[in-house]
Structure formats: structure tokens, C-alpha cells
A = this chain, B = another copy of it.
């Protein structure tokens, strides 16, 4: 293996100073008035030897690590892993890499991770805010490092974030059911303070309310699948009049479908169904299930646009960017009008 080449080696070989080499490598040849001849000589040798600056030393000196910390509940959730991929692509284009970790709904762990990220001098953060971490994040935001939140937010928190317009699209989804003649629409969500979940709920409530229908809400304490299913069976048994149901998130819908299996409920025939979050399964289910699709590409793009402009100091720091993106309702058979 070729021994690691240092800037000093280049300088010595060419009998010039490391300063000059450093300037040229960092593209400051023009600015620093380095002669064409010297510049070329350096670049050629760099090429020939395949010199790569030691990024650790660079980071230590400049205080920039070119690393972005990505913090979510669980990287294996499709929504998060897709965002991860897209963000990584964009980041790579700009010389950044992503350090990720999953908090697994554990506040203590999340705090630790934040500490580790800080300790490793990540240049910026992309975070789906876990519950209970609000004050830590507030502290973090006061730091120099830019922070972009997504998916979750806290009302009144002054920071950059990128969200889906949860309340609006759930309003539309509910209205779609109402328009198709459904009169007893249930809404299954979890017991939580997470603002995005509350927004989804409020979209439902507004639609139901403005149509003078009764709201039928089931809030389940999220522990595990078994518990979710038990609670849902209970809900579906109690509320016999139900003719439609909206599941407020991916994992809730999954457990909803498990419940259907258990209770032998057939979407559309027995109950109209809409899922928040679209995933492949819904398309292939029989009948195919109507779903709200979050604009994953747009979300990732806006996260990175915001973050990069912060990292490059292109935007006014005191002016926070708060972006709310529209979602789409993918209408399939499960929510059609009964004829």
C-alpha cells in the first residue's frame, strides 16, 4: 500500500513551501497570485501521486467537518430511509457526508446522540424531532451549527423546518370520504403530543365538523403491535356504525390491516379506508387502498436547500425558513362511492 502522502511531501519534492501547495490545492492560486507555472507543477504532482488531504487535520484546523448529523426515530422506517437516501445524494454533491443514528423513541439515547454529534463537530443537523427533546434542540439551535427539522415540529419554536401540510391533506382526505357518501368516519391515531399528529387530527376534525358529522376518534397508546391491534378491535367492535376509517400514519395503518385480517374486515366492502403515508403494499392490497403520499423528494430537496444555504452563510440567520409542502391523495378503490 502506498504510504499516505502529506502536503509536506509535495512541497519538498517541488522545493516550495507548504503554504503555496495548500493555496493551490484549495483553489486559491488566483487569489494569492501564485504563478501559472507553479500552480500547474503542483496540480500535476497532486494528480500523479493521488494526493488527498487528510480531512481530519483539515477539520481540526478549520473547525468544519463536512459531516451532517441525521437523527430520526428509526432509520429502517421507509419514510426516513428514503429521506436519508435523497439527503445523502444532495449532500454528497456538495462534499458533505451523513452520519446517522436512530433514537428508537428513547429520549436519553437521543440526548447522548446529540452530544456525540456535537462532539464530532458535525457542521449541521437534520432532525425528525423526538418527543422530549425540545429543550435540547432549542439549545442546539442557539449554537452556530445550523439545524433543519423535518416531519415533526414544535409550535412556537424558532427554527428552520420542512413539513408536510398535514392538516390540509387530511382535511381533503376526509372531505373526499364525505363527498363519496360516507357518514361515520373514524380516525385512528396514537396518544401523543407530536404536533404533526395533532395537525392530522385537526384536519379530520375540521372536515367532519364543517359537515356536521360526528367525530369518531380512537387514540391508542403506542406500545407495540399487539396492543394496537387489541385496541383497534375494541374500537371497531364498539363503533358499529363506522363506514370509513382513516389511519393517521404508516405504522398505524399496518396494524390496522392486521386488525382487518383478524376481524375479517374487507376494505371498501365493509369499511372505506384511507392511509396516511403511501407505501407499496397499499397499491397491491385487494382492494387497493387510498393513501396520502408525502412529497418525499420535495421534502428532501428543501431540507438540503435550507441547510446548504445556512452552511454557506447565504441566508440571514435571524430569518428562519419554515416550509410547508402539500401532500397528495392517491385515490384507489378502498374509498370509492358505494353504488
Known A-B contacts A60-B60, A284-B285; the reply to A81 vs B88 at CB < 8 A is no
CB distance from A253 to the nearest CB of B (A): 11
- What CA separation (Å) do A92 and B116 show in the bound complex? 10
Check A309 for interface membership: any CB of B closer than 8 A. no
Indicate if the CB atoms of A56 and B121 lie closer than 8 Å: yes
Q: Chain B residues near A92 (CB, 8 Å)? A: 101, 113
Q: Chain B residues near A209 (CB, 8 Å)? A: none
Indicate if the CB atoms of A57 and B55 lie closer than 8 Å: no
Indicate if the CB atoms of A100 and B88 lie closer than 8 Å: yes
CB distance from A99 to the nearest CB of B (A): 5
Give a binary string over A215-255; 1 marks a CB under 8 Å from any B CB, 0 the rest: 00000000000000000000000000000000000000010
Indicate if the CB atoms of A78 and B78 lie closer than 8 Å: yes
Check A84 for interface membership: any CB of B closer than 8 A. yes
Check A111 for interface membership: any CB of B closer than 8 A. no
Check A48 for interface membership: any CB of B closer than 8 A. no
Q: Chain B residues near A257 (CB, 8 Å)? A: 284
Neighbour of A280 across the interface among B55, B101, B254, CB < 8 A = B254
Q: Chain B residues near A308 (CB, 8 Å)? A: none
Check A13 for interface membership: any CB of B closer than 8 A. no
Residues from 49 to 102 in A contacting B, C-beta threshold 8 Å:
52-57, 59-60, 65, 67, 74-76, 78, 81-82, 84-85, 88-89, 92, 97-102
Indicate if the CB atoms of A85 and B97 lie closer than 8 Å: no
Indicate if the CB atoms of A97 and B99 lie closer than 8 Å: yes
CB distance from A150 to the nearest CB of B (A): 16
Indicate if the CB atoms of A98 and B99 lie closer than 8 Å: yes
Known A-B contacts A76-B81, A89-B102, A100-B98; the reply to A56 vs B280 at CB < 8 A is no
Nearest 9 pairs of A and B residues by beta carbon: A81-B81, A76-B85, A281-B281, A76-B81, A76-B82, A56-B60, A52-B119, A75-B85, A56-B59
**Residues of chain A having any CB pair with chain B under 8 Å:** 1, 52-57, 59-60, 65, 67, 74-76, 78, 81-82, 84-85, 88-89, 92, 97-102, 104, 113, 115-116, 118-121, 139, 142-143, 254, 257, 261, 280-281, 284-286
* Contact sample, A vs B, 23 pairs, CB 8 Å cutoff: A1-B142, A53-B119, A54-B60, A55-B119, A55-B120, A55-B121, A56-B60, A57-B60, A75-B81, A75-B85, A78-B78, A81-B84, A84-B100, A92-B101, A92-B113, A98-B101, A254-B280, A257-B284, A261-B284, A280-B281, A284-B284, A284-B285, A286-B286
